[in-house]
């Protein structure tokens, strides 16, 4: 009996792999429809199973309007999602400020992008650094059209308390950005009055649904600093949930 069940499972897995390998699954909307119906919070992951070109209404960089004259700030712009965002915004003519914690990485990444890209240093986990960065930014720029709050660390990082006394993942992903957001509120408002079009993007995660797996989605900040009650997964989920609530 066990052998039969195992054979059926292996067979089903083989069929699924075949559908993926031959591209048949890509040509259908089966996964997208299933996810949309049962787990709508995971819809952002559908492109993993669906060819970009097959996605109806899929976002494309080419569909962005000209961004000439606009100022954009992307935290954690030297790699991953942040880097691609800087590249896309710059390709449309925006003046992009790539904010990173390492000057070497920032300079190297910026040098690979065509367009008006400059670099600024900030450690998002340090409220002191964020304060200094914000002050300098406000001195240099008189408008902020696009603010992408992207820098982040993940679930595999150790439970660490920053010198300022905050759990590291939460400080980096949420608190630093929240402080920066507050510092730029007036600038964003002024820009919005000028252009009627300001975009603030918080790069959250489906992991916010795993913030506290035992009890569901709740912000629980009192246990964050307690190593025995917290973990990388919980702290990451909490930081992403806090972004969502902002
Ligand atoms: N990739 C995914 O599947 C996924 C899914 C859901 C959400 N996200 C979110 O998407 C965002 C970008 O992730 P990614 O996948 O593109 O990761 P990534 O390639 O590791 O990029 C993260 C960026 O954040 C920067 N960063 C980390 N700590 C920082 C600090 N203290 N101060 C300043 N910058 C700091 C990193 O700088 P260094 O290069 O110096 O480390 C890097 O530039 C994150 O907020 C992440 O939580 C990602």
Q: Could you write out the DSSP letters of every residue in the chain?
A: -HHHHHHHHHHHHHHHHHHHHTTTTTTS-HHHHHHHHH-GGGGGGGGGTS-GGGSTT---GGGS---TT-EEEEETTTSHHHHHHHHHHHHTT-EEEEEES-HHHHHHHHHTS-SSEEEEE--TT-HHHHHHHHHHHHHH-S--SEEEE-----TTS---B-TTSSBHHHIIIIIHHHHHHHHHHHHHHHHHHHHS--EEEE---GGGGGSBTTTBS----TTTT-TTT--HHHHHHHHHHHHHH-
According to the model, what pLDDT value does residue 90 have? 98
Pick from 106, 202, 198, 103: which is nearest to 150 by CA? Answer: 202
Ligand 1: which of 100, 113, 121, 152 to mutate, judged by most atoms within 8 Å of the beta carbon?
A: 152
The answer on pLDDT for 56 being more than 80 is no
Distance from C-alpha of 51 to C-alpha of 158, rounded to nearest angstrom: 35
The answer on pLDDT for 117 being more than 80 is yes
What mean pLDDT is predicted for residues 122-149? 98
According to the model, what pLDDT value does residue 234 have? 81
The answer on pLDDT for 169 being more than 80 is yes
According to the model, what pLDDT value does residue 175 have? 96
Q: Work out the widest C-alpha separation in the chain, in whole angstroms.
A: 73
Q: What is the pLDDT of residues 80-114, one digit of tens each?
A: 999 999 999 999 999 999 999 999 999 999 999 99
Distance from C-alpha of 170 to C-alpha of 159, rounded to nearest angstrom: 10
Q: Which residues pair with 97 in a beta bridge?
A: 73, 118
Candidates 88, 204, 208, 230; catalytic one: 204
Which segment of 127-136, 141-150, 220-229 scores lowest on mean pLDDT? 220-229
Between 219 and 74, where is the model more confident? Answer: 74
Rounded percentage of the chain residues whose pLDDT exceeds 90: 54
According to the model, what pLDDT value does residue 47 have? 63
Confidence of residue 52 (pLDDT cuts 50, 70, 90): low
Ligand 1 pocket member 127 (CB < 6 A): no
Distance from C-alpha of 64 to C-alpha of 84, rounded to nearest angstrom: 14
Please provide the CATH number assigned to the domain covering 61-245: 3.40.50.720
Domain with CATH 3.40.50.720 in the chain: 61-245
Candidates 70, 87, 234, 240; catalytic one: 240
**Distance of alpha carbon 78 from its chain centroid, rounded?**
13
Supply 166's token pair: 């905050």
According to the model, what pLDDT value does residue 104 have? 97
Would residue 83 show up in a list of annotated catalytic residues for this protein? no
According to the model, what pLDDT value does residue 83 have? 98
The answer on pLDDT for 54 being more than 60 is no
Pick from 57, 54, 113, 123: which is nearest to 88 by CA? Answer: 113
Ligand 1 pocket member 120 (CB < 6 A): no
Are 241 and 220 within 8 A, CB to CB? no
Supply 126's token pair: 């340090």
Would residue 240 show up in a list of annotated catalytic residues for this protein? yes
The answer on pLDDT for 53 being more than 60 is no
The answer on pLDDT for 44 being more than 70 is no
According to the model, what pLDDT value does residue 30 have? 73
CA 79 vs CA 76, 102, 169: distances in Å: 7, 11, 18
The answer on pLDDT for 217 being more than 60 is no
pTM score: 0.83
Candidates 87, 179, 230, 236; catalytic one: 236
Ligand 1 pocket member 143 (CB < 6 A): no
Would residue 141 show up in a list of annotated catalytic residues for this protein? no
Confidence of residue 144 (pLDDT cuts 50, 70, 90): very high
Ligand 1 pocket member 237 (CB < 6 A): no
Distance from C-alpha of 144 to C-alpha of 189, rounded to nearest angstrom: 9
């Amino acid at each position: 009996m066990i052998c039969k069940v195992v054979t059926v499972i292996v067979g089903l897995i083989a069929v699924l792999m075949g559908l993926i390998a031959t591209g048949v699954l890509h040509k259908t909307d089966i996964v997208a429809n299933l996810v949309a119906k049962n787990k709508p919070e995971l819809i952002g992951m559908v492109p993993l199973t669906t060819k970009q070109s097959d996605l109806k209404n899929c976002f494309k960089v080419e569909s962005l309007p000209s961004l000439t004259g606009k100022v954009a700030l992307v935290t954690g712009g030297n790699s991953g999602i942040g880097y691609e965002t800087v590249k896309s915004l710059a390709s449309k003519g925006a003046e992009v400020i790539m904010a990173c914690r390492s000057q070497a990485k920032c300079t190297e990444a910026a040098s690979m992008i065509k367009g008006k890209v400059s670099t600024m240093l900030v450690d998002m986990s340090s409220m002191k650094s964020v304060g200094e960065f914000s002050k300098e930014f406000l001195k240099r720029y008189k408008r902020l059209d696009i603010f992408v709050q992207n820098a982040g660390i993940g679930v595999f990082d150790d439970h660490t308390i920053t010198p300022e006394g905050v759990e590291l993942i939460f400080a980096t992903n949420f608190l630093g950005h929240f402080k920066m957001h507050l510092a730029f509120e007036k600038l964003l408002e002024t820009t919005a009055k000028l252009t009627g079009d300001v975009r603030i993007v918080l790069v959250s995660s489906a992991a916010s649904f795993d913030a506290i797996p035992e009890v569901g989605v709740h912000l629980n900040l009192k246990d964050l600093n307690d190593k025995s009650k917290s973990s990388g997964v919980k702290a990451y989920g909490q930081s992403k949930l806090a972004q969502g609530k902002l």
